[in-house]
Amino acid sequence: MEENKLIDLRKLVCPFSLIAARKEVNDLARGDVAEILVADSSTCESISTWAEDEGNKVIEVKKEGDYFRIILKKK
């Protein structure tokens, strides 16, 4: 089984975080699973909302201490 791709955006801020997430997720192959780490709830919300709107499957959104982990599967 292939490892999930880790996209660590915790150091990025608006407007860069969503641009970066979009670029990294668009570069994945269909069916790939990615774990996106972000620093705050609003970025987490923006990225998971965008990812779902694009047809990706958001498998899990989890708070991990002082950051958030979004696990998604590329459509």
Smallest gap from Cβ 11 to another protein, in A, equals 4
Q: 3: Cβ–Cβ under 8 A, 6 or more apart, which residues? A: none
Contact at 8 Å (CB) between 72 and 25?
yes
Q: Which of 6, 11, 13, 14 is catalytic?
A: 14
Q: Which CB sits closer to another protein, 1 or 48?
A: 48
Tokens 């670029």 map to which residue? 23
- Rule CB under 8 A: choose which of 2, 3, 4, 24 binds another protein: 24
Tokens 């089984």 map to which residue? 1
Q: Would you call 44 a catalytic residue per the annotation? A: no
Smallest gap from Cβ 70 to another protein, in A, equals 13
Instruction: Give the residue numbers annotated as catalytic, written as ranges.
Output: 14
